[in-house]
A and B are shown apart, each in its own frame.
Chain A
């Protein structure tokens, strides 16, 4: 399986890609926190924030449509937030059937939540598109995330593709052993189909457990003592600090604009 199936990192030679990953993580998370702090209805601030994300995407050589397409993940959640449009008290601006009514405060709140969330998501997409996953984990380690958690994530990433391949082999085997004659019912009962799926899960588990045993023995044989070592040092250079300062300046400006205008 090609890593591109899951990992959406895009290789480009831009200054955004070359930034120290710590700067990108801090700026990205800071931006998302800032979005959450913006008040409802701060439309100008939302527009400028989105402009910032798009500008960064262009500077990094990432197609803006790619970022927007991946951010459509949020669509199912609109359903959860739309209830607030109908239930928040305020001036009624639309009277609907079954006693439903939309208030202005409710509509503002709903659109604000959706916009803030959508823009935050795009920033997160940009972060992963411009940062290699191992560098991302290394940045987390620098930012005081416990070493054990980072190591577990690294291991999970390493074996993700192996186990997903294993799973697709299991599913292909199941499909190869499933016949369906046209016009006839197939697949026995729901419980039987579920128990086949459950057995596949159990099978995957025992294989994974055995694999983890083998991996552990192999690591011991190569001198593993509990610490994962890396040969990829990250140094913050002047341009990294400048980029970080600029990012926080812009975030602060967005907050001011959001509250004053």
Chain B
């Protein structure tokens, strides 16, 4: 071992100075709250066994990131491991492990900044791990072939999600323009994600063959995976919103043709005029944010309606 592979070193560990202090602080807050839950949960489950287990698992992830396989023409594929860590160790211990890996990389190799460490833990630990874990759980109990394919898809999506969040944070900090960074990041990581998917599938298959009880991801009925899939679908659609056709829809076209378009009256108030945020102008970002606002409002309305129906239903059945 003569040198630390620079490929991994360069991978998404954002250095200090690339994120604004505001963005860093918000990420820290999110991570600290989640870490507090993780520590409490794992300490309760594992007691004093937690420290040696998490420490050695952290060293495992770090060492596993060095294992490569030749892809083509001198390049080699590597493995990040957040999804695998969450699937095999469970979400809370997985988060602690990835936090240890990222903290050690920042402290020891300056790979990733100290002030932006919260953001790095979010990008490379919480987001990919959570998404990989929830999506994988959807496949449990549906047969080995389904589990394998879904594990690969979950790992791939986890990398894409991490790239997405990283681009967002960089854009919010004014370090890069979203329009340029997002397609570039997503494009590159679509390839990197394939390597991650392949290794995750193979590693999980090996672990399930040799020590099946070690895999902590369990199907306990929680439907978080569907929520994650739904969220991903929403985000993909939102990103494509600015590319929607500018042609008039059926009613508008007929109205213009027959001439009654002029008799349309303006609404007394306009919250999101023409699918844009009023203060953000006519930019694509404004359309995306307006879509986000609309999606959130619809979701909240649906949730409150169905919650009311669910309680009614339960009362009728005396559950």
Residues of A participating in the B interface, judged by any CB pair closer than 8 Å: 1, 5-8, 28-29, 32-33, 35-37, 70-71, 73-74, 76-77, 80-81, 83-84, 86-87, 109, 113, 116-118, 120-121, 124-125, 128, 133, 136, 146, 148-149, 151-160, 162-168, 170-171, 187, 190-191, 193-206, 208-209, 211-212, 215-216, 219, 224-226, 228
Interface residues on chain B, number (Cβ under 8 Å): 82
Given A84-B177, A120-B113, A121-B16, CB of A202 within 8 Å of CB of B79: no
Closest CB-CB distance, B162 to chain A, in whole Å? 14
Closest CB-CB distance, A192 to chain B, in whole Å? 9
Given A6-B4, A80-B175, A81-B18, CB of A128 within 8 Å of CB of B206: no
- Whether the pair B67, A170 counts as a contact (CB closer than 8 A) is yes
Interface 9-residue window, one of B197-205, B236-244, B264-272? B197-205
* Contact partner, B59, options A37, A121, A160, Cβ 8 Å: A160
With the chains together, A6 CA to B65 CA distance in Å?
15
For A203, list chain B residues within 8 Å (CB): 206
The number of residue pairs between A and B whose CB atoms lie closer than 8 Å in the complex comes to 270
* Contact partner, B15, options A74, A208, A216, Cβ 8 Å: A74
With the chains together, A168 CA to B14 CA distance in Å?
27
Can you list 20 A-B pairs, Cβ within 8 angstroms, ordered by A?
A28-B114, A71-B110, A77-B10, A87-B180, A117-B18, A117-B113, A128-B108, A155-B52, A156-B59, A170-B67, A171-B67, A194-B77, A197-B198, A199-B206, A200-B67, A201-B64, A201-B67, A201-B84, A212-B56, A215-B52
- Whether the pair A226, B1 counts as a contact (CB closer than 8 A) is no
- Whether the pair B56, A73 counts as a contact (CB closer than 8 A) is no
A-contact 0/1 string along B105-116, CB 8 Å cutoff: 011111101110
- Whether the pair A156, B206 counts as a contact (CB closer than 8 A) is no
Interface 9-residue window, one of B43-51, B136-144, B280-288? B43-51
With the chains together, A148 CA to B180 CA distance in Å?
41
Given A121-B16, A208-B56, CB of A149 within 8 Å of CB of B99: yes
Given A5-B1, A206-B210, CB of A216 within 8 Å of CB of B52: yes
- Whether the pair B210, A216 counts as a contact (CB closer than 8 A) is no
Given A193-B69, A193-B70, CB of A205 within 8 Å of CB of B207: yes
Give 6 A-B pairs besides A71-B110, A148-B50, A204-B63 with Cβ atoms closer than 8 angstroms: A73-B15, A77-B10, A117-B17, A136-B107, A153-B100, A197-B202
With the chains together, A170 CA to B1 CA distance in Å?
12
A-contact 0/1 string along B23-66, CB 8 Å cutoff: 01000000000010001000100011111111111111011101
Residues B244-297 near A (CB distance < 8 A): none
- Whether the pair B77, A198 counts as a contact (CB closer than 8 A) is no
- Whether the pair B202, A194 counts as a contact (CB closer than 8 A) is yes
- Whether the pair B55, A156 counts as a contact (CB closer than 8 A) is yes
For A70, list chain B residues within 8 Å (CB): 110
Closest 8 CB pairs between A and B?
Answer: A198-B202, A155-B55, A202-B206, A117-B17, A226-B48, A194-B198, A156-B58, A197-B69
Residues of B participating in the A interface, judged by any CB pair closer than 8 Å: 1-2, 4, 9-10, 14-18, 20-21, 24, 35, 39, 43, 47-60, 62-64, 66-72, 77, 79, 81, 84, 88, 96, 99-101, 103-104, 106-111, 113-115, 170, 174-177, 179-181, 195, 198-207, 210-211, 214
With the chains together, A77 CA to B235 CA distance in Å?
26
- Whether the pair B210, A190 counts as a contact (CB closer than 8 A) is no
For B39, list chain A residues within 8 Å (CB): 146, 148-149
Closest CB-CB distance, A123 to chain B, in whole Å? 9
- Whether the pair B176, A80 counts as a contact (CB closer than 8 A) is yes
For B20, list chain A residues within 8 Å (CB): 36
For B56, list chain A residues within 8 Å (CB): 155-156, 159, 163, 208, 211-212, 215
For B204, list chain A residues within 8 Å (CB): 198, 202
- Look across to chain B and name the residue whose beta carbon is closest to the beta carbon of A198: B202
Given A148-B50, A156-B58, CB of A36 within 8 Å of CB of B64: no
